[in-house]
Amino acid sequence: TMLMDLFFDTVDVRRKRRAHFHSFMADVHARVHDWRQKRKTGAVKGDDPIAPIAADLAEDAWLLCFDEFAVTDIADAMILGRLFQALFARGVVIVATSNVEPGDLYRDGLNRALFLPFIDMIRQRMEVTKLEARTDFRLEKLSGSDVWFTPLGDESTNRLQGLFRALTGVAKGAPDHVRVFGRDVEIPEAAHNVARFNYDNLCGRPLGATDFVEIARVYHTIVLDGIPVLDPAKRNEVKRFIVLIDALYDHRVKLIAAAAAPPQAIYAGVDGHEAFEFDRTVSRLIEMQSTEYLALPHGSLSDASGDTGGIVET
Residue 83: pLDDT band by 50, 70, 90 thresholds?
A: very high
Average pLDDT (66-76) is 80
Model confidence, pTM: 0.57
Q: Which contiguous run of DSSP H or E holds residue 286?
A: helix 273-287
- On the question of pLDDT at 308 being above 70, the answer is no
Task: Give the whole-angstrom CA distance, residue 210 versus residue 23.
Answer: 14
**Smallest Cα–Cα separation from 83: which of 21, 137, 164?**
21
**Smallest Cα–Cα separation from 214: which of 191, 242, 182?**
182
Question: What is the DSSP secondary structure assignment for residue 259, as one 8-state letter?
Answer: E
pLDDT in tens, 153-180: 999 999 999 999 999 999 999 999 988 8
CA torsion angle 187 193 198 201 (round to 10): 30
Task: Give the whole-angstrom CA distance, residue 73 versus residue 70.
Answer: 9
Task: Give the whole-angstrom CA distance, residue 267 versus residue 203.
Answer: 14
Domains and CATH numbers, the chain: 2-125 (no CATH), 137-294 (3.40.50)
Task: Give the whole-angstrom CA distance, residue 314 versus residue 312.
Answer: 6
- pLDDT at 75 (0 to 100): 81
Helical residues (DSSP H) of 15-60, grouped into ranges: 21-41, 50-60
Counting beta carbons within 10 angstroms of the beta carbon of residue 94, is it exposed (0 to 12), middle (13 to 18) or buried (19 or more)?
middle
Average pLDDT (103-113) is 85
Residues 6 or more apart in contact with residue 64 via CB below 8 angstroms = 16, 17, 19, 24, 57, 87, 92, 93, 94, 95
